[in-house]
Structure 1
Amino acid sequence: MIVISDTSPINNLAAIGYLHLLQEIYETVMIPEAVYRELTDPEFPVAGATEVQTLDWINTCACRDLSLVEALCNELDRGEAEAIALTLQFQADVLLIDERQGRLVADKLHIYYTGILGILVEAKKQSLITTVKPLLDDLIDKAGFWIASPLYNKVLQLVEENE
């Protein structure tokens, strides 16, 4: 399975101590150079910086279609643009992306994607975690990840943790 990730899933899972879920679900994850730079910028330290530099299951790859990246940069930030371009370049099975605009562009390009909430649902489905709710709460409280209340409740319903 070929998996490409944008910055958000790596950063947010690292922030709550659950980055290992990506390896357990997907084995290997590829990131574009722009995502690597976003995560490792010394001027703006973030969760996941050390991991993308040291974990052997996260691989950084260059995008070949720079004209596509530049065109996508009209709508997206560089990391999202390169993640989408890399997904097309490798005909990846899944793109890990959370940002709304990036998802809209992925939809237009017929790219299958999921985000951090889908990753948590899949992790529970595979019995890699026992409950999703504490991780959702950690994403909100520790990582500053915003989840609308209806979506929060929908995820809990999906994993049968609704009260």
Structure 2
Amino acid sequence: MPNSAAVVSDTSPLLNLALIERLDLLRTQFSDITVPRRVWNELTEGEAGLEALRELRDDDFLRIVEVERSDLFVEVSHELDLGETAAICYGVEHGAELVLLDERDGRRVARRHDLEVTGVIGILLRGAKTGDVDLEMELDALREAGFWISDGLYSRVLSEVDE
């Protein structure tokens, strides 16, 4: 059953789920996802997964929002790219319960601002725990799509499913 909590996403989790054709997991885990315009622009720069992402937008599952260049935006933009900055700022300014981020620096900044964070691997892990995902197969697909996962993290995530 989808969680109705406010969820904001950066580019990487959406793009990587699109690349491995698992955007369906978002619908099973969340009622909708807010996507800053800058993130949407990054997603639509390429062709990979674009049709499926547009379908989510057209179904109003992905809500595209504008993010103002606030003082927080300027501060965070010195550390992160504009998509991550927009996702974190929107999350802080609108009380998001979860921000979807993959990059280490983005996660660090989000946590500094008291945001709960997960990424593509966390979404796959949630799916595996409900029986919707063959985790090893999807982690391998992520690697094949170019998403870097260390051997240690790969093993650790697989062992979490067994717990």
Residue 114 of structure 1 corresponds to: 118
Q: Which range is displaced more, 57-66 or 25-34?
A: 57-66
What TM-score do the two structures reach when normalised by structure 2?
A: 0.90
Write the deviation string for residues 45-81 of structure 1: whole angstroms up to 9, x where unpaired.
1423333333221111111353321221100000000
Residue of structure 1 equivalent to 2:72: 68
Residues 4 and 87 in structure 1, CA contact (< 8 A), matched pair in contact too: yes
Q: Distance in 2 between matches of 1:158 and 1:112?
A: 19
- The TM-score with structure 1 as length reference comes to 0.90
Q: In the TM superposition, what whole-angstrom CA distance separates every residue of 1:5-59 from its partner, at most 9, and x where no partner exists?
A: 1000000000000011011101211110110010112xxx142333333322111
Q: 1:134 aligns with which of 137, 145, 150?
A: 137
> Which of 141, 146, 149 is 1:147 aligned to?
149
Deviation at 1:87, TM superposition (A): 0.6
CA apart distance, 1:90: 1.6
Q: 1:11: which partner in 2? A: 15
Q: How large is the Cα RMSD of the aligned pairs?
A: 1.5
SS in 1 for 2:48: coil
For residue 29 of structure 1, the aligned residue among 10, 22, 33 is: 33
Name the amino acid aligned to 1:92. A
Aligned length: 156
Structural mapping, 1:78-89, within 5 Å: 78-89=82-93
> Following the alignment from structure 1 to structure 2, what is the Cα–Cα distance between the partners of residues 74 and 87?
18
Any unmatched runs of 5+ in structure 2?
none
Q: Is this contact kept in 1: 2:18–2:53, CA < 8 A?
A: no
CA deviations on 1:98-157 (whole Å, 9 max, x unpaired) are 00000110111111000111111111122222x20000000001x200001100000000
Distance 1:97 1:144 in 2: 16
Unaligned runs of 5+ in 1: none
Change in 2 beyond 3 A, CA 1:46/1:104 = farther
